[in-house]
């Protein structure tokens, strides 16, 4: 009996070793065949279990350019990940299919909603179905209001002039400025005034710290990282790492937001009983607060909080980042700077003749006189007059083509589908259209696609639109951006004043590259030297 056991034990070990070798060979063969199948595929390298996560993580800081490199080879790029598959699209036909033709099959989806819920909640940018439709209907009514447009024009002019005063002081004292930070302050103050009727004063001359703005940026960065971090749910469950910082940031954001809502509600309640016409509030939050009083709308303070934060990300970050890239493009293209200045100067001279006033510049004027002259020019700028500055409009639009505020926008997939180019997409995956890459593709814009060329938007000096499925900076279809006109109004108001009265120079050696967030902001800001024209 003992001899049989002694004989059988090595046999069992040898048998076990054989199974291990066979398993290893099968695994190796599987990986080899997987890689062989991938050899001629147009897209990132994928591996069993982890998909393309390794290559994507290695390129995370330059993901938009990484995708653009693959889009130059193929109009559709498939990126398998451990728990889902991303299908990235840059062909206008595919984009139209997703954003319009088969719109109902491509909602924001549960995956996107779960990633962004902590920041955006059930707001308009993170909602689907009836909840989204109700919010959009209300917001659409507000953005179509002449009262809101007129109110916005006054506010955008006011804060553009506040920014000009800061730049004027910097030019007199030879101080460098971080233009991105200043623009973020300007747009935050503006959206809080237009959206919520409150003055928060981040663009005050002493540039006070703003905990809300910092916390909002931190939260934005962390929720964006969730899209490629398969461990974020584990970190959230155990309260570890970035998820701890996210919780702290959201608390700061919520404290500010709920205080704004309480303040606005109190003001509205206090106004009751007075002459109604004198107390009309044109801000967006007031409209939603009034709607919340109807039980059928089922709007809580949490719903109002989501409204506030969705409009902040829409009205602050996107506008400020576009203005930052526009100024960088103007600095980098002297011919564009000259043409833009010429248009603004001609506009000023024509209006001076019409009104029989003088806008002549005195180079020895003091700072107060200079600021008065800027304010005089700003008074000429309104919705209608800005609409006639076609080259200015083309500069903003060309900036958005190459540096879209939202560089990529993912959608969920409800049911299996086939895109117009034949690509099959599976239910539960994600389809992402990529405005950053679309603007750089020669098959969309011709051989000069990578060049900054505002003239491409002009025909006989008049601005010409492109298809929203080709120029996707404002999305397209049923979800097309409601705030497009408002965004253009603020951007053109600010740029008209800045480019008429200032020259900008990038601080030597300052790095310019984007930061991975839901919006295309500059990672190190934009440090400039400012001088008066």
Q: Looking at residue 174, what is its pLDDT?
A: 92
Adjacent-strand bridge partners of 504? 530
> What tens digit of pLDDT does each residue of 47-56 get?
776 778 788 8
Q: Looking at residue 17, what is its pLDDT?
A: 58
b (16+ CB within 10 A) / e for 389-422: bbbbbbbbbbbbbbbbbbbbbbbbbbeebebeee
Annotated binding site for heme, which residues? 481
56: burial class by Cβ within 10 Å (0-12, 13-18, 19+)? buried
Q: Looking at residue 8, what is its pLDDT?
A: 56
* Domain assignment present for 12: no
Comparing 259 with 17, the larger pLDDT belongs to: 259
Pairing of strands 458-459, 462-463: antiparallel
Instruction: Locate 235 and state its tokens.
Output: 């970190």
Asked if pLDDT for residue 1 goes beyond 70, the answer is: no
> What tens digit of pLDDT does each residue of 400-430 get?
999 999 999 999 999 999 999 999 999 999 9
> What tens digit of pLDDT does each residue of 374-384 get?
999 999 999 99
Alpha carbon distance 56, 82 (integer Å): 12
> What tens digit of pLDDT does each residue of 461-485 get?
999 999 999 999 999 999 999 999 9
Annotated binding site, which residues? 481
Alpha carbon distance 170, 154 (integer Å): 25
Alpha carbon distance 138, 134 (integer Å): 6
∠ CA 359-365-366, rounded to 5°: 125
Q: Looking at residue 29, what is its pLDDT?
A: 42
* Domain assignment present for 428: yes
Reduced to 3 states, what is the DSSP secondary structure of residue 85?
strand
- pLDDT bracket for residue 192 (50, 70, 90): confident
* Domain assignment present for 380: yes
- Residues 520, 404 contacting (CB under 8 angstroms): yes
Comparing 327 with 229, the larger pLDDT belongs to: 327
Asked if pLDDT for residue 22 goes beyond 70, the answer is: no
> What tens digit of pLDDT does each residue of 424-438 get?
999 999 999 999 999
> What tens digit of pLDDT does each residue of 264-285 get?
888 888 877 665 544 556 778 8
Alpha carbon distance 83, 52 (integer Å): 11
- Total number of residues shown for the chain: 533
| φ, ψ of residue 72 in degrees (nearest 5) | -65, -20
pTM to 2 decimal places: 0.86
Alpha carbon distance 392, 295 (integer Å): 46
Instruction: Indicate which CATH number applies to the domain containing 262.
Output: 1.10.630.10
- pLDDT bracket for residue 81 (50, 70, 90): confident
Asked if pLDDT for residue 26 goes beyond 70, the answer is: no
Alpha carbon distance 130, 58 (integer Å): 39
Pairing of strands 424-425, 417-418: antiparallel
* Domain assignment present for 21: no
Q: Looking at residue 46, what is its pLDDT?
A: 78
Average of per-residue pLDDT across 147-159: 93
Q: Looking at residue 60, what is its pLDDT?
A: 86
Instruction: Locate 21 and state its tokens.
Output: 């070798």
> What tens digit of pLDDT does each residue of 112-134 get?
888 899 999 999 888 999 889 98
Reduced to 3 states, what is the DSSP secondary structure of residue 300?
coil
* Domain assignment present for 14: no
* Domain assignment present for 28: no
Average of per-residue pLDDT across 86-101: 97
pLDDT above 90 coverage of the chain, percent: 59
What does 194-256 look like in DSSP terms, one character per residue? HHHS----TTSTT----HHHHHHHHHHHHHHHGGG-TTHHHHHHTT-THHHHHHHHHHHHHHH
| φ, ψ of residue 204 in degrees (nearest 5) | -60, 155
- Residues 431, 344 contacting (CB under 8 angstroms): no
Angle between helices 301-312 and 242-271 (to 10 degrees): 110
Structural domain of residue 208, as residue ranges? 41-532
Alpha carbon distance 168, 175 (integer Å): 10
* Domain assignment present for 32: no
Instruction: Locate 103 and state its tokens.
Output: 């719109």
Structurally, the chain folds into a number of domains equal to 1
Q: Looking at residue 158, what is its pLDDT?
A: 97
Alpha carbon distance 159, 164 (integer Å): 9
Instruction: Locate 300 and state its tokens.
Output: 């809580």
* Domain assignment present for 129: yes
- pLDDT bracket for residue 16 (50, 70, 90): low
Comparing 33 with 403, the larger pLDDT belongs to: 403
Alpha carbon distance 389, 340 (integer Å): 9
CA nearest 283: which of 264, 310, 301, 256?
264
> What tens digit of pLDDT does each residue of 328-342 get?
999 999 999 999 999
258: burial class by Cβ within 10 Å (0-12, 13-18, 19+)? middle
> What tens digit of pLDDT does each residue of 288-317 get?
888 888 887 778 999 999 988 888 878 888
Alpha carbon distance 171, 177 (integer Å): 10
Q: Looking at residue 299, what is its pLDDT?
A: 84
Instruction: Locate 151 and state its tokens.
Output: 């109110």
How confident is the prediction for the chain on average, in pLDDT? Answer: 87
Q: Looking at residue 27, what is its pLDDT?
A: 43
């Amino acid at each position: 009996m003992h001899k049989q056991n002694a004989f059988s034990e090595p046999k069992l070990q040898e048998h076990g070793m054989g199974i291990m070798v066979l398993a290893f060979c099968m695994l190796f063969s599987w990986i080899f065949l997987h890689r062989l199948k991938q050899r001629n595929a147009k897209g990132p390298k994928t591996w069993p279990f982890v998909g393309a996560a390794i290559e994507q993580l290695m390129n995370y800081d330059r993901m938009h350019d990484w995708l653009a490199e693959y889009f130059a080879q193929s109009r559709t790029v498939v990126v398998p990940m451990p728990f889902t598959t991303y299908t990235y699209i840059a062909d206008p036909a595919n984009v139209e299919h997703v954003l319009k033709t088969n719109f109902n099959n491509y909602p924001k989806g549960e995956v996107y909603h779960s990633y962004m819920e902590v920041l955006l909640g059930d707001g308009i940018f993170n909602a689907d179905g009836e909840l989204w439709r109700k919010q959009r209907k209300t917001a659409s009514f507000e953005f179509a209001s002449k009262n809101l447009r007129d109110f916005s024009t006054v506010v955008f002019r006011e804060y553009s002039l506040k920014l000009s005063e800061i730049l004027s002081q910097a030019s007199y004292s030879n101080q460098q400025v971080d233009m991105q930070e200043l623009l973020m302050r300007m747009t935050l103050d503006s959206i809080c005034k237009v959206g919520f009727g409150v003055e928060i004063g981040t663009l005050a001359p002493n540039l006070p710290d703003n905990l809300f703005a910092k916390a909002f940026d931190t939260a934005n960065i962390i929720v964006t990282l969730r899209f490629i971090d398969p461990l974020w749910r584990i970190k959230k469950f155990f309260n570890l790492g970035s998820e701890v910082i996210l919780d702290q940031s959201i608390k700061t954001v919520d404290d500010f937001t709920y205080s704004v809502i309480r303040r606005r509600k109190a003001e509205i309640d206090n106004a009751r009983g007075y002459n109604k016409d004198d107390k009309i509030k044109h801000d967006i939050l007031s409209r939603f607060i009034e709607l919340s009083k109807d039980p059928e709308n089922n709007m809580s303070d949490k719903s109002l909080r989501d409204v506030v934060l969705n409009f902040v990300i829409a009205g602050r970050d996107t506008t400020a980042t576009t203005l930052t890239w526009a100024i960088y493009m103007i600095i980098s293209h002297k011919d564009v700077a000259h043409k833009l200045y010429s248009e603004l100067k001609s506009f000023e001279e024509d209006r001076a003749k019409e009104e029989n006033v003088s806008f002549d510049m005195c180079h020895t004027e003091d700072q107060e006189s200079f600021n008065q002259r800027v304010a005089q020019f700003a008074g000429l700028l309104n919705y209608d007059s800005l609409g006639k500055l076609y080259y200015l409009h083309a500069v903003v639009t060309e900036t958005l083509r190459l540096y879209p505020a939202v560089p990529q926008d993912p959608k969920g997939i409800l049911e299996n589908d086939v895109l117009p180019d034949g690509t099959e997409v599976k239910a539960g995956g994600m389809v992402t259209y990529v405005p950053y890459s679309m603007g750089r593709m020669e098959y969309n814009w011709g051989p000069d696609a990578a060049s900054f060329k505002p003239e491409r938007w002009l025909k006989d000096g008049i601005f010409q639109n492109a298809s929203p499925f080709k120029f996707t900076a404002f999305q397209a279809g049923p979800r097309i951006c409601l705030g497009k006109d408002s965004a253009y109004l603020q951007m053109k108001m600010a740029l008209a004043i800045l480019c008429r009265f200032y020259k900008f120079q990038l601080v030597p050696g300052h790095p310019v590259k984007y930061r991975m967030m839901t919006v295309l902001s500059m990672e190190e800001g934009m440090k400039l030297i400012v001088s008066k024209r």
